[in-house]
């Protein structure tokens, strides 16, 4: 994975992984059997792990100097923390009120929206760095 991040750029890789995560969130609807659910869970677990491991290098790619790396990571993970803090109670409420459909749709939409923000970041970073490898 590190080699792919070095070649394509961490933000480009984060964009692809975000979209794969969103697709895998919505595929939980198609899991009608236990083996299907297990397979989707394994694929989502791998994809989620890839997302978590490439987030820090992607945030570091925004830094213009080495002195900015800590602040970029801090602000980025602070924003991620708000999502993690607020998402779990919303998922629990949706599960209680609507059943499994609500949390699956909410999770998929939030991951898709996050992928949209990553896409915007890729667009602006490509413009700023004048390179496709961001």
What's the pLDDT tens digit per position in 20-32?
999 999 998 888 8
What's the pLDDT tens digit per position in 57-97?
999 999 999 999 999 999 999 999 998 899 999 999 999 99
Whole-angstrom distance, CA of residue 80 vs CA of residue 3: 25
- Tell the burial category of 82 from Cβ atoms under 10 Å away from its Cβ (0-12, 13-18, 19+): exposed
What's the pLDDT tens digit per position in 41-54?
999 999 999 999 99
pLDDT for position 1: 67
The sign of the torsion formed by the CA atoms of 112, 116, 117, 119 equals: positive
C-alpha distances in Å from residue 3, one per residue of 6, 8, 10, 13, 54 = 5, 9, 10, 11, 12
Query: Are the CB atoms for 58 and 15 separated by under 8 Å?
Result: no
């Amino acid at each position: 994975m590190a080699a792919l991040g070095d070649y394509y750029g961490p933000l480009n890789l984060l964009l692809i992984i975000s979209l794969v995560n969103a697709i895998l969130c919505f595929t939980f609807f198609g899991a009608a059997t236990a083996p299907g659910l297990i397979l989707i869970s394994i694929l989502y677990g791998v994809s989620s792990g890839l997302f978590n491991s490439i987030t820090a290098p992607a945030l570091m790619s925004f830094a213009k100097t080495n002195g900015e790396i800590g602040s970029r990571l801090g602000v980025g993970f602070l924003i991620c923390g708000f999502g993690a803090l607020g998402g779990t109670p919303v998922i629990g409420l949706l599960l209680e009120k609507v059943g499994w459909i609500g949390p699956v749709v909410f999770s998929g939409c939030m991951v898709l929206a996050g992928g949209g923000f990553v896409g915007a970041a890729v667009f602006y970073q490509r413009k700023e760095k004048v390179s496709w490898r961001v």
